[in-house]
Amino acid sequence: MAQALNAFDTGSSRLPPPPARSGAVRINHVSRTFQVQGRDVHALDDISLSIRPGEFLSIVGPSGCGKSTLLRFLAGLDKPDRGTITVDDTEISGPSLKRGIVFQDHRLLPWLSVEKNIGLALRSLPGAAAEKSARVAELIELVGLRGFESALPHQLSGGMSQRTAIARGLAPRPPLLLLDEPLGALDALTRTHLQSELLDIWESEQSTVVLVTHDVEEAVFLSDRVVVMAPRPGRIRRIIEVPGERPRRRSDPNFVAVREEISELLAHEH
């Protein structure tokens, strides 16, 4: 594990190897207050959470409970006022190629093809051009976009754009992949389909995944654990272990029971 990370850091001439179950996250007593029109908004209040290497963890909760704020901290795009966050025992100090992030809006560059948008994520990494092209081809295969390598973003459906964004997030083989409602804007069928794909991707890439979602069924289908958050102040209400082998059947009584338990917790928050 340490070796994998070192190869990533020391400017060796190869792309980093797969993360091999690194990506352990520790969130220790993290808080953040924003000033909005002269008033304090407690976006996050004393959040503590450990995420296991290779875990698939989802975060659900009403709008405004601090989900995106927490994900931005994990990405190194913003910082807590109090508390610390470490990934593999190193404190997060800014954005890093070790942490991929995918947003609800895909944020692809409109003038670049699918292939080039994905390849952009590898630009600042060591490794020969041929090796990078091979990685891009592998990702295109992984997210099911073969035949669309040269397509421009405006020629893609919503689902295809999100697949491209996910491939871009995965390109540098980050031990930690952060997903902020990546399927939120898609229709139900495409969404269900992409959930299965996300599961396959997680299994083949072996990254730790933190997914923010509004969709309780999606969280239960994908996750080892689901963190239910509550707003004002943003805090963890409960953490629920999801039992059952994957792929899970949505009609399974245990699946339905966990889904209902989480939905009731959320209804209570409203």
Binding site for ligand ADP (CB under 6 A): 34, 36, 41, 43, 61, 63-69, 234
Q: Which is nearer to ligand ADP, 72 or 193 (CB)?
A: 72
Among 68, 96, 113, 164, binds Mg ion (CB under 5 A): 68
Q: Which is nearer to ligand ADP, 19 or 66 (CB)?
A: 66
Q: Which is nearer to ligand ADP, 192 or 263 (CB)?
A: 263
Find which of ligand ADP, Mg ion, none residue 69 binds, CB within 5 to 8 Å per kind: ligand ADP
Which of 165, 162, 171, 210 has its CA nearest to residue 190? 162
In sequence order, the β-bridge partners of residue 44 are: 32
**CB–CB of 118/166 below 8 Å?**
no
**CB–CB of 195/218 below 8 Å?**
yes
Find which of Mg ion, ligand ADP, none residue 66 binds, CB within 5 to 8 Å per kind: ligand ADP
Find which of ligand ADP, Mg ion, none residue 1 binds, CB within 5 to 8 Å per kind: none
How far lies 41's CA from each of 82, 212, 216, 234, in Å? 15, 21, 26, 9
* CB 157 to ligand ADP: min, Å: 25
Contacts of 269 by beta carbon, 8 Å cutoff, 6+ apart: 61, 62, 65, 230, 231, 237
Q: Which is nearer to ligand ADP, 5 or 216 (CB)?
A: 216
* CB 62 to ligand ADP: min, Å: 7
Contact between 58 and Mg ion (CB under 5 A)?
no
Structure tokens at 134: 């091979």
Find which of ligand ADP, Mg ion, none residue 156 binds, CB within 5 to 8 Å per kind: none
Q: Which is nearer to ligand ADP, 21 or 225 (CB)?
A: 225
Does the CA dihedral 179-182-188-192 come out positive or negative? Answer: negative
Backbone angles phi, psi at 220, to 5 degrees: -70, -35
The Cα–Cα gap between 52 and 223 comes to: 12
**CB–CB of 44/32 below 8 Å?**
yes
Instruction: Tell me the residue number closest to Mg ion, measured at CB.
Output: 68
Find which of ligand ADP, Mg ion, none residue 34 binds, CB within 5 to 8 Å per kind: ligand ADP
Chain residues that interact with Mg ion, rule: CB under 5 A = 67-68
